[in-house]
């Protein structure tokens, strides 16, 4: 017990000290965790052989992370990614494997060993890349989405790779059972979440067709349970009225699915991701996310610490230049392939560099495949230790690659938060451009009235915020004609322009009016001058963003200064009607490019209209006095 408490104190203290320092220096939490592991492991020697066992447990953070990512993806969105998963991700894995295999063969390895090395090093670090992309707000950029597609493909690819590696074990004679199944030694049964060693399995010794049926059955159980079982179970837990039971159920879902996946020889991370996708449309999605996020963060942090602490410093000190050079060569080889693959798939400059530098490292699944290959005698033990160190070094270099990306992004002169537009697959009678504090209210009222809206905005944070509340929006610049066309501009009946930028608002209305002279356009204005500009551009109804709220505040003043609610409301309505008439009248005196304060005719007419307002309000007061008399 004392040993456990000591180790827990060391790991937690290292994280608490190193991570905030790294974050303050702008290096990110991942590098902080890795540095903490190096300090308590190779440098100070505060932790020892338990690090490898702890790492198997910490890898469960990757499983939780993929489950949470799945919760953010609807099945339809995953289906829409199929071209990137197969094309972009598949091509990266294939070309990286072949390139690294060729390099290993040049170094004198047999083709079997070289192929195993290529497969292991072709996979990138899901944990580091996704964590860093999320921290930097790059997940929804074109490069971030492409990176996620490749990482998801790699996680799926682990399954056939694990099935294929035993065929490379040329030192042992391949044995076939009478029923046609491959005879496997018990020592090679492994899974990456629960540890690398003997375990339970539902598919060992089964013929190929039976393995397929059992695997499909397990996946089907996950899908059906997510659709039909979660709601009754959540209602049952809700009846207990115990907050901790929600957390227990969330953990049970992830742990249970991971265990089921290991029983059929699949990746727990893949199973958790599939379950997350199934539950993406569930009303309990946000509950699951809030319960699991703290565990995910702690386990991922622990995983990064164990990577740093598990470095074989004796092997590293024996020839540091060679090992660092090999790690850099792996990054260079994968980076070159990623760059040209990204270019072939149309990634722009900044996004292509994010895609290239973000995925150039080897990943945590490399530890899994290399350890498995050593158990199968595919790769010699001494070479395996060296390769494991190369994988760890490449992961340690990754935060520096993201820093390099930040520098390149600034030099390219492109906005760091630039995002590629979403593919718009919906149309509606009402298009709302802008979902800020103004557009939100309009959208809520119209949607709640049963009228379908299509929401567009170029602010990713605003889109993400609305998605958390169940409001679907599409990322993109609403002033772009192709986006408006995809949103159904040709058939729309009303366009609401609620953008923050006054110039973009005018630009958009002018463009739309040329295409749809019959469309009713409602626009948000910043001030009276902006109203005149929008009127000239072709807007039908123009709403100043603070006018109605200011008018209501004035009515409250009148109510609390002595007027009745009816009298204050009459004054408010009189002011409102007069102001609308005033704006239409003054529009004829307004001159573009000339400040109103320098337009004498405008000022003179404004004074006349202001006297008319005073007269109208005085008449209301006189009517009140006459009634009282």
Residues 147-175: tens digit of each pLDDT: 888 888 887 777 678 768 777 875 444 45
Using the 3D structure, point to which of 544, 573, 589 is the last residue of a domain.
544
Q: How many CB atoms lie within 10 A of CB 225?
A: 18
State pTM to two decimals: 0.54
Same domain, 215 and 230: yes
DSSP 378-427: SS-HHHHHHHHHHHHHHHHHHHHHHHHHHHHHHHTT--TT--PPP-----
pLDDT at residue 193, as a whole number = 39
pLDDT at residue 416, as a whole number = 44
pLDDT at residue 420, as a whole number = 56
Same domain, 527 and 551: no
pLDDT at residue 159, as a whole number = 65
Same domain, 314 and 253: yes
Residue 213 lies in a domain: yes
pLDDT at residue 118, as a whole number = 93
Using the 3D structure, point to which of 411, 441, 468 is the last residue of a domain.
411
Q: Which residues pair with 495 in a beta bridge?
A: 431, 521
Which segments in the chain show pLDDT lower than 70? Answer: 1-2, 26-28, 48-50, 52-53, 55-56, 59, 72-81, 159, 163, 170-200, 208, 267, 283, 413-425, 593, 624-629
Same domain, 269 and 283: yes
Same domain, 357 and 254: yes
Same domain, 118 and 256: yes
Work out how many domains the chain is built from and give that number: 3
Same domain, 124 and 260: yes
pLDDT at residue 194, as a whole number = 39
CATH of the domain at 255: 1.20.1530.20
Which tokens hold the place of 368? 């899994």
* 502 burial type by CB count under 10 A (0-12 exposed, 13-18 middle, 19+ buried): middle
Closest of 567, 605, 558 to residue 585, by C-alpha: 605
CATH of the domain at 488: 3.40.50.720
Closest of 447, 537, 453, 555 to residue 494, by C-alpha: 453
* 556 burial type by CB count under 10 A (0-12 exposed, 13-18 middle, 19+ buried): exposed
Closest of 375, 362, 498 to residue 431, by C-alpha: 498
Cβ contact 391:121 at 8 Å: yes
Residue 133 lies in a domain: yes
Same domain, 523 and 586: no
Using the 3D structure, point to which of 529, 544, 559 is the last residue of a domain.
544
Same domain, 557 and 527: no
Q: How many CB atoms lie within 10 A of CB 184?
A: 17
Q: What is the C-alpha separation between 288 and 294, in angstroms, rounded? A: 11
Same domain, 219 and 365: yes
pLDDT at residue 494, as a whole number = 92
Q: What is the C-alpha separation between 531 and 363, in angstroms, rounded? A: 56
Residue 439's SS3 state is helix
Which residues form the domain of 508?
424-544
pLDDT at residue 105, as a whole number = 93
């Amino acid at each position: 017990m004392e040993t456990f408490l000591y180790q827990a104190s060391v790991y937690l203290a290292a994280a608490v000290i190193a991570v905030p320092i790294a974050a303050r220096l702008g290096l990110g939490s991942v590098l902080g965790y890795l540095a903490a592991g190096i300090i308590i492991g190779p440098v100070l020697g505060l932790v020892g052989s338990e690090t490898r066992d702890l790492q198997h447990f910490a890898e469960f953070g990757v499983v939780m992370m993929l489950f949470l990512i799945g919760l953010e993806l609807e099945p339809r969105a995953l289906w829409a990614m199929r071209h990137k998963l197969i094309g972009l991700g598949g091509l990266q894995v294939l070309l990286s494997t072949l390139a690294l295999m060729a390099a290993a063969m040049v170094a004198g390895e047999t083709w079997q060993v070289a192929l195993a090395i290529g497969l292991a090093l072709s996979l990138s670090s899901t944990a580091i890349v996704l964590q860093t992309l999320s921290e930097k707000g790059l997940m929804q950029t074109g490069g971030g989405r492409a990176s996620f597609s490749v990482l998801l493909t790699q996680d799926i690819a682990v399954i056939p790779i694990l099935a294929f590696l035993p065929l490379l074990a040329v030192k042992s004679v391949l044995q076939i059972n009478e029923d046609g199944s491959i005879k496997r030694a018990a020592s090679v049964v492994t899974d990456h979440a629960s540890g690398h060693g003997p375990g339970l399995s539902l598919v060992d010794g089964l013929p190929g067709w039976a393995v397929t049926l059992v695997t499909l059955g397990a996946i089907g159980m996950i899908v059906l349970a997510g659709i039909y079982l979660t709601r009754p179970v959540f209602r049952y837990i809700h009846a207990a009225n115990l907050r901790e039971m929600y957390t227990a159920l969330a953990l049970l879902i992830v742990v249970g699915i991971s265990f089921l996946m290991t029983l059929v020889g699949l990746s727990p991370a893949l199973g958790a991701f599939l379950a997350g996708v199934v539950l993406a449309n569930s009303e309990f999605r946000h509950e699951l996310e809030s319960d699991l996020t703290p565990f995910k963060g702690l386990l991922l942090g622990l995983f990064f610490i164990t990577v740093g602490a598990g470095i074989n410093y004796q092997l590293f000190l024996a020839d540091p230049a060679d090992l660092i050079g090999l790690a850099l060569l792996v990054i260079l080889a994968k980076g070159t392939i990623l760059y040209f693959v990204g270019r072939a798939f149309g990634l722009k400059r900044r996004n292509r560099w994010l895609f290239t530098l973000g995925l150039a490292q080897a990943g945590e699944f490399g530890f899994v495949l290399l350890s498995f290959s050593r158990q199968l005698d595919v790769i010699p033990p001494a070479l395996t230790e060296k390769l494991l160190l190369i994988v760890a070094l490449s992961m340690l270099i990754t935060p520096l690659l993201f820093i390099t990306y930040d520098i390149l992004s600034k030099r390219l002169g492109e906005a760091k938060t630039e995002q590629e537009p979403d593919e718009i697959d919906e149309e509606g009678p009402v298009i709302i451009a802008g979902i800020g504090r103004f557009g939100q209210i309009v959208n809520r009222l119209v949607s709640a009235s049963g009228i379908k809206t299509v929401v567009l905005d170029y602010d990713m944070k605003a889109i993400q915020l609305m998605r958390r509340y169940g409001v679907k929006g599409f990322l993109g610049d609403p002033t772009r004609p192709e986006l408006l066309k995809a949103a159904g501009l040709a058939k729309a009946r009303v366009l609401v322009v609620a953008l923050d930028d006054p110039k973009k608002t005018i630009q958009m209305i002018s463009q739309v009016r040329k295409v749809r002279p019959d469309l009713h356009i409602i626009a948000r204005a910043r001030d009276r001058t902006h109203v005149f500009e929008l009127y000239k551009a072709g807007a039908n109804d123009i709403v100043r963003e603070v006018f109605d709220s200011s008018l209501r505040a004035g009515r409250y003043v009148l109510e609390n200064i002595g007027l009745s609610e009816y009298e204050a409301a009459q004054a408010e309505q009189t002011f409102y009607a007069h102001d609308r008439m005033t704006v239409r009248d003054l529009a004829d005196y307004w001159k573009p490019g000339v400040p109103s304060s320098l337009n004498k005719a405008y000022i003179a007419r404004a004074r006349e209209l202001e006297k008319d307002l005073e007269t109208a309000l005085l008449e209301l007061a006189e009517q009140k006095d006459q009634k009282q008399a």
